């Protein structure tokens, strides 16, 4: 049965099952939006109960066919797609001199090729509807030389470049792109490490605000961007790292 999309906007969120993606779904659904939850398992948030209009779709960001099918199904069931949030991502550390080619390729496939394909597939839907918003979830690592994170750093820098390029190219169709680039974010997956004494000492030393961001904080920023019609805000990267990236 087709989902009702009479209230709020229709929003596709990739990587919707855990971490930041789960928080995005919860915050946006609570504000009355219809959420297409795209994940490998084809389900919405695993770590919380989220009431609201959710459409769960199978989507592996390494699979071009699945990306196209998921977005096409969402548009068919909900009637349109107003917003795409490219959140799904893969992070893997390793010494650069020994980093396997296959692992490097997989990180880029998930973190930059997948978002490119999702943007390409959502484009005709947004163009036909008179515009739309694409939010890419990047990272403040894009402007840092973080050792042991070469593939991840490269993928997030490329995501910023994708944001800028498509913002210019698609502006005539009133499709805007914004790169939201958090710093360290406390999630259920890294909670033990982030709360360790050594990392807390690092936070106090390096992050001017003295704290890592929460998933809810990132979700509220994204929800603000979704809520406001700001025609000239496009192509920008918004860093949310507590001032760490500019702390010298």
pTM listed for this prediction: 0.94
At 2 the pLDDT is 39
CB-based contacts of 148, cutoff 8 Å, min separation 6: 93, 94, 95, 96
The pLDDT of residue 195 is 81
Domains within the chain, CATH numbers bracketed: 10-239 (3.40.50.720)
3-class SS of residue 1: coil
Looking at residue 189, its pLDDT comes to: 66
Question: In the prediction, which pLDDT does 7 show?
Answer: 56
pLDDT block averages, 10 residues each, the chain of length 248: 58 96 98 98 93 97 98 98 97 96 98 98 98 98 95 98 98 98 86 84 93 95 97 98 92
């Amino acid at each position: 049965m087709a989902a009702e999309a009479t209230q709020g906007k229709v929003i596709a969120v990739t990587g919707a099952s855990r971490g930041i993606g789960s928080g995005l779904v919860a915050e946006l659904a609570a504000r009355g939006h219809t959420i297409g939850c795209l994940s490998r398992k084809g389900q919405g948030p695993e770590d919380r109960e989220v009431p609201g209009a959710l459409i769960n779709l199978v989507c592996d960001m390494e699979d071009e066919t699945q990306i196209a099918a998921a977005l096409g199904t969402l548009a068919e069931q909900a009637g349109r797609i107003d917003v795409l949030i490219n959140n799904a991502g893969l992070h893997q550390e390793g010494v650069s001199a020994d980093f396997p080619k296959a692992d490097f390729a997989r990180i880029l496939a998930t973190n930059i090729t997948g978002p490119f394909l999702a943007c390409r597939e959502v484009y005709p839907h947004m163009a036909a509807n008179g515009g739309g918003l694409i939010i890419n979830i990047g990272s403040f690592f894009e402007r840092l030389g973080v050792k042991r994170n070469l593939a991840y750093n490269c993928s997030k820098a490329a995501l910023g470049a994708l944001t800028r390029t498509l913002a210019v190219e698609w502006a005539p169709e009133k499709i805007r792109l914004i790169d939201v680039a958090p710093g360290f974010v406390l999630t259920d997956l890294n909670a033990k490490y982030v709360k360790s004494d050594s990392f807390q000492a690092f936070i106090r030393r390096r992050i001017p605000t003295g704290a890592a961001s929460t998933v809810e904080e990132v979700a509220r920023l994204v929800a603000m961007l979704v809520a406001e019609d700001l025609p000239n805000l496009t192509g920008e990267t918004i860093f949310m790292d507590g001032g760490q990236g500019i702390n010298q």
